[in-house]
Amino acid sequence: MDKELAMLAAGAALGLVIAGYSLLTVPSYPLSDDIAALVNEVPISQADHQSRIQRLAAEGAAPDALRQSLEALVDEELLIQRAEELNLTRLDPNVRTALLVAARNAAVSEQLARPASEQELRAFFIAEASRFTTPLQLTLECLVLADDTPVTALAEIRAAFTTSSPLPAALAMYLTDSTPLPPVPLSLTALHRFLPAPVIAAAAALPAGETAVVPQSQQLYLIKVVTRANALTPAFDAVRTQVEIEYGFFREHHSFANYLQWLRDRAQIQRHSLEPVQ
């Protein structure tokens, strides 16, 4: 009886050893021809391995490095898996940033790899003509007068200003600011650094050589348009390179926006409302 019990105990112990060993070992089986290695059930493809070998060879790597290229890929995969275990994609800002950049590039790479067609470029040029239009540019002269300047004095000052004649000394007393504007053509946007918006709007409506009096902020702005270069949209062929660049940025932005919307549509997103409960 004791002998039978001893044999049963030995058999049970052996069974436990075998079971434990089977749990601790990874089953080994032949890999398919397109798999170079399997790391914790994650495959490394032959294509990736061959690409690594070709890159190393092009860089003039030593033969040992070529022979160890697969092991280097295995090490990289182990490190990636460990990074996922440590949650570095969320905890390390540098890793997170690099991952976001890579994800964005991957999202738009297929769209950007396709060259834009002639029809697409011309349609974009027409729809976004303002991107390529040279804006209206004005060369202005301006005098600022007190708002109580007598009508007769204002008429004399305007006549002298229109003909670029010297201003009579007796009329100089009405000037509150005679600081000259830059004597070069400026866009309406640039003119906002020097003049109020209503004055600029009045100047934009004037032809070259004309003057206007614009009341603004308890002062009178006497303006003259010296030169006027109207807005100009160039021919498509003259700015084709710029159109291609701008359309590339436009297509990248919209491609990524569509990709983000696709991610949102397939995701379950729940937000915590900060609004008080009624």
DSSP letter string, the chain: -HHHHHHHHHHHHHHHHHHHHHHHSPP--PPPTTEEEEETTEEEEHHHHHHHHHHHHHTT--HHHHHTHHHHHHHHHHHHHHHHHTTHHHH-HHHHHHHHHHHHHHHHHHHHHSPPPHHHHHHHHHHTGGGTPBPPEEEEEEEEEETT--HHHHHHHHHHHHTTPPPPGGGGGGEEE-PPPPSS-EEHHHHTTTS-HHHHHHHHTSPTT-EEEEEETTEEEEEEEEEEE--BPPPGGGGHHHHHHHHHHHHHHHHHHHHHHHHHHHS-------SPP-
Task: State yes or no: pLDDT of 29 exceeds 70.
Answer: no
Mean pLDDT lowest among 30-39, 211-220, 254-263, 268-277: 268-277
> Which amino acid, residue 185?
P
Whether 143 and 109 share a structural domain? no
In a domain, 8, yes or no: no
Whether 107 and 157 share a structural domain? no
Out of 197, 214, 229, pick the residue that ends a domain.
229
pLDDT tens readout for residues 229-247: 999 999 999 999 999 999 9
Whether 63 and 99 share a structural domain? yes
Which residues sit opposite 139 in a β-bridge? 227
Stated pTM of the model: 0.53
- Place 185 in a pLDDT band, splitting at 50, 70 and 90: very high
Whether 142 and 107 share a structural domain? no
In a domain, 95, yes or no: yes
Q: How far apart are CA 131 and CA 126, in angstroms?
A: 10
**pLDDT at position 138, please?**
96
Domain that holds residue 174: 137-229
Mean pLDDT lowest among 13-27, 56-70, 162-176, 189-203: 13-27
**pLDDT at position 100, please?**
85
Question: Average pLDDT, stretch 252-256?
Answer: 89
**pLDDT at position 13, please?**
46
Total domains, the chain: 2
Whether 61 and 142 share a structural domain? no
pLDDT tens readout for residues 37-59: 999 988 988 898 888 888 888 88
pLDDT tens readout for residues 126-156: 999 988 999 999 999 999 999 999 999 999 9
Whether 146 and 211 share a structural domain? yes
Whether 91 and 175 share a structural domain? no
Instruction: Concatenate the DSSP letters of all residues of 139-160 into one string.
Output: EEEEEEEETT--HHHHHHHHHH
Whether 97 and 43 share a structural domain? yes
